[in-house]
Amino acid sequence: MAQAAIELIGINKSFGAVRANRDINLEIGRGTIHGIVGENGAGKSTLMSILYGFYQADSGEIRVGGQPASIKTPNDAIALGIGMVHQHFMLVDNFTVLENVILGAESDALLKKSIAKARSELERLEREYGLEVDPDAVIEELPVGLQQRVEILKALYRGAEILILDEPTGVLTPAEADHLFRILGQLKDQGKTVVLITHKLREIMAITDTVSVMRQGTMVATRETRKTTVEELAELMVGRRVLLRVEKGEAEAGAVKLAVKNLTVRDTRGVTMVDDISFDIRAGEIVGIAGVAGNGQSELLEAISGIRRAVSGSVMLDGKPIDLTGAADPGELRDRGLAHVPEDRHHVGLVLAFEENENSILGYHDDPRYLKGPFLNIDAIRNDARDKIAKYDIRPADCRLKTANFSGGNQQKIVLAREMEQDPGVLIVGQPTRGVDVGAIEFIHKRLIAMRDQGKAVLVVSVELDEIRSLSDRILVMFAGRIVGERGPEATEGELGLLMAGIEHQEAAE
Amino acid sequence: MDVFNAIIQTLDSTIRLSVPLLLACLAGLYSERAGIFDIGLEGKMLVGAFAGAAAASVFHSAFLGLGMAILISVAFAMIHGFASITHRGNQIVSGVAINFIAAGSTIILGQAWFQQGGRTPALQPGERFEAITLPGAEAIRDVPVIGPIYAELLSGHSILVYLAFLMVPFTWWVLFRTRFGLRLRAVGENPAAVDTAGISVAWLRYRALICTGILTGIAGAYLSMVQNGGFVKDMTAGKGYIALAALIFAKWKPVNAMFACLLFGFLDAASIRLQGSPLPIIGKVPAQFMQALPYILTVILLAGFIGKAIPPRAGGVPYVKER
């Protein structure tokens, strides 16, 4: 192994009663790309935040380049040549690229000189690493992929030799992610050290030299990437064997449950987001909608589930039309057997400040089962919530706990349990496993397939191509508001990727 | 010529009346741009007015008065900072508390020290800021049009008036041309970005509040030592709130803030001037209506005539690093 760029020895960190890091030892070789994987809450981000001086370790030692280092603030880390690209970008949205890059590293008390110096320095970095971005562009007008480049430039401008990236591909399209990996490869070639934190195992296999696995605050293993497999890493992460691709039989498609015809939907700005779309979903099949985020999937889901008005077109549920012009009442649709698991569970699916049992009946709270005269039947609600907790393995198993205190995967299970247990004829699911751990993903996928096998019609919208391919019986690809192709589950990732990028669509149009 | 003179005089009082608004508005601009809502501008002006008049009267020095006004006002700004930055308290509650403390303590201390019913002693010449006559003002006074504009409108104000208007380009320059300004604006938009860039969020916000305190101190001193010859209880009379309204109206920009404050000052001046005098067509307008006009207009302007005012995104939210 190359000389160590960073050594972490016996790092401990607790937040109250939660031990986020226990006795972590880690060695990161200079000039390598080192991956750190683990489920949400395994302590990866905490560990890197300690390295970056954002948090203080309760005990333990950090060595940078062989020398013991005291990192108390991000400033200390920057001085030691450590740069970090955070999962949620640390950018000022209404500042320009240049202003963001110099923030905190201004060479002069007056901006003019600092900006002039940064401009020439940025040009050099862009040439060296292929990090092109317009230095005078305002951040909020840039796509996320470019915003991330600004974050990398920020770190390099500060002279970073060691670059930590926290879940860098979570917001990127497959093409943007590929570009990022090329940049990371170039950084490595120039002798920089890259630490990549992720829970996506394919990325680890594709780009890292070494990989360390964290589970529940401990470092469980470090492997050379070429000597390990996705299956082994998944097992190390979860602590048991995980099925990465859920087994399912052939679909037995029945009658049409949901028929969408010539549907057109505009967003709040008046831009047409869904453009004359037609498709059917039959009983007993899962239809997956693939596409890069922002190509109209969200608006499509909202229109079908009665949250957003459609401009034109029709949606038939069990042969009867849904009122699309007057903004259909989602409650009425629920009564008619259409359940909706929204994409954004925090803002649409749950009230985070509510107790778990309250969320588990939200939207069905006027069902006689949960009522006692004009009042809520608290006992019935809690018993019902306990049943769902047991059936969906929601942890912790406490129906009185505030929903915000559940992990992302368990929150998603609360929403899924609520909607699936109403026994709907049609289930619409947006991003079923966004921010959900590997173990819970397996569970959620199994439940969705079980719904299908019970003869329900299931519509899944996801930006995760793996998920779409693993779940769907038919795959529809959306690009720029239109369905640009339909494929079977055997379609290759490359084929779907081209469709998602609109390549075939454009060629056909020309 | 009468109409011309009336206009000149109204504009002259517009300037005088808009100065405290302008200073308070710029004060609010520093803190709100840094992400700290400051509803306590009113209170800080009031303690500044009291401290200024009291110190000037006791030490017989206008400049000592001004210094004391700034000192006490900054101290109150630091209380706001301690509550809302260090202890991450609710910024509105802290601001309201400061207003109450200011209103109560100035009356109590004023009565205890001077026994004049909460007033400070009337300031003597030398204890007040006198009007400054600009060079050549007297010489060209009789020149038509330009003469009165220069001599009446531009000349003959106290130094604090000129200072207030100089603060406008200065604030713009600080905010948009210096490192401190860049960081200050950044911390009001995304404090986490500032923190990860290795800059202390708390210290930066405290410095912004020091700027706020200095400016509200000057605003208070102007009220009690220029506009008035001493402190009178509750003499700020809601100017701090009007300044906040002007700040929103100005979309948190210094030059806009000047025009917003001049507009509010003009409405105030016009209402004083038009009190009791009949208007063409409408006839005599009740004095109460004229006095209410600036406030009515504020509501109307803020309700829909300025487009969408986007406040600094991190405004009002205490910065919490640890999860």
Nearest CA in chain A to B196: A74
Q: Which of A15, A86, A106 is opposite residue B196, by nearest beta carbon?
A: A86
Cα angle for residues B148, B154, B157 (degrees, 5° grid): 115
Whether B322 is covered by a domain: the verdict is no
Per-10-residue mean pLDDT of chain B, 323 residues long, equals 82 94 97 95 97 95 96 97 94 96 95 90 89 84 82 88 96 96 96 92 96 97 94 92 90 94 89 74 74 76 70 88 58
pLDDT of residue A437: 78
Q: Out of A74, A95, A100, name the one closest to residue B198 (CB).
A: A74
Q: So what's the pLDDT on residue B323?
A: 45
Let me know if A300 is exposed, middle or buried by CB neighbors in 10 A (0-12, 13-18, 19+): buried
In terms of pLDDT, which residue wins out, A395 or A370? A370
Q: Which of A80, A103, A107, A108 to mutate to test the interface with B (most CBs of B within 10 A)?
A: A103
In a domain, B54, yes or no: yes
| B2-33 helix and B159-177 helix, angle to the nearest 10 degrees | 40
Element (H, E) at B304: none
Please give the interface size between A and B, counted as residue pairs whose CB atoms are below 8 Å apart.
Answer: 74
A320: left (phi over 0), alpha (psi -120 to 50) or beta: beta
Burial grade of B282 (CB within 10 A; 0-12, 13-18, 19 or more): exposed
Output the pLDDT for position B306: 64
> What integer is the mean pLDDT of A407-436?
89
Domain with B117 in it: 2-126+136-239
pLDDT tens-digit series, residues A215-251: 888 999 999 999 999 889 988 888 877 776 777 888 8
Q: Is residue B62 included in any domain, yes or no?
A: yes
Mean pLDDT of chain A, nearest integer = 89
The model's confidence at residue A126, banded by pLDDT at 50, 70 and 90, is confident
Eight-state DSSP code of residue A476: E
Non-local CB neighbours of A253 within 8 Å, separated by 6+ positions: A282, A283, A284, A285, A473
Minimum-distance CB partner of B178 among A55, A86, A110:
A110
For residue B25, tell me if it sits in a domain.
Answer: yes
Nearest alpha carbon to residue A197 among A346, A51, A25:
A51
Inter-chain CB proximity B197 and A73 less than 8 Å: no
More confident residue, B306 or A92: A92
Q: Which of B178, B197, B323 sits opposite A109 (nearest CB)?
A: B178
Q: Using the predicted structure, report yes or no on whether residue A1 has a pLDDT greater than 50.
A: no
Does residue A444 carry a pLDDT above 50? Answer: yes
Q: Which residue has the higher pLDDT, A179 or B210?
A: B210
CA neighbor of B160 nearest in space, from B70, B265, B251, B263: B70
> What pLDDT is attached to residue A250?
83
CATH numbers and ranges of domains, chain A: 4-238 (3.40.50.300), 245-337+424-510 (3.40.50.300), 346-422 (no CATH)
Contact A91 B185 (CB under 8 A): no
The two tokens of residue B288 are 């109460």
* pLDDT value of position B311: 86
CB–CB of A104 and B192 under 8 A?
no
- Nearest by CB to residue B182, choosing from A91, A106, A154, is A106
Q: Which of residues 152-181 of B touch A (CB under 8 A)?
A: 176-181
Higher per-residue pLDDT: B74 or A49:
B74
Domain tally, chain B? 1
For A255, A420, A460, A472, B291, the CA distances from A449, given in Å and listed in that order, are 18, 12, 11, 9, 71
Instruction: Compute the average pLDDT of residues A454-464.
Output: 92
Mean pLDDT of A89-106: 93
- Residue B50 covered by a domain: yes
B311 has a chain A CB within 8 A of its CB:
no
Span A245-285, pLDDT tens digits: 777 888 888 899 999 999 999 887 788 889 999 999 999 99
Indicate yes or no: CB of B198 within 8 angstroms of CB of A73.
Answer: yes
A69-77: average pLDDT: 91
Residue A181 has pLDDT above 50, yes or no: yes
Instruction: With both helix axes pointing from N to C terminus, report the angle between B2-33 and B201-222 in degrees, rounded to the nearest 10.
Output: 160
List the structure tokens of A174.
């497959």
Where residue A508 falls among pLDDT bands split at 50, 70, 90? very low
3-state SS class at B111: helix
> For residue B173, what is the nearest residue in chain A, using CA coordinates?
A110
Residues B65, B108: Cα–Cα separation, whole Å: 19
**Whether B322 and A55 lie within 8 Å, measured CB to CB:** yes
CB atoms closer than 10 angstroms to residue A371: 14
Nearest CA distance, B88 vs chain A (angstrom): 19
pLDDT at B80 (0 to 100)? 96
Q: What is the pLDDT of residue B15?
A: 94
User: Does residue B273 lie within any of the structural domains?
Assistant: no
In DSSP notation, A275-311 reads EEEEEEEETTEEEEEE--TTSSHHHHHHHHTTSS--S
Positive or negative CA dihedral for B254, B255, B258, B262? negative
pLDDT confidence of residue A2: 52
The answer to whether residue B59 is domain-embedded is yes
pLDDT for B286 equals: 77
CB contact under 8 A, B190 and A108: no
Q: What is the pLDDT of residue A117?
A: 94
Pairing of strands A474-479, A285-290: parallel
Q: Are A38 and A199 contacting, i.e. CB atoms less than 8 angstroms apart?
A: yes
Tell if the CB–CB gap between A91 and B192 is shorter than 8 Å.
Answer: no
Q: State the pLDDT at residue B146.
A: 82
Whether the predicted pLDDT of A129 surpasses 50: yes
Q: What is the DSSP string of B120-145?
A: PPPPPTTTSPPEEPPTTTTTTTTSTT
Answer yes or no: do B186 and A92 touch at CB < 8 A: yes
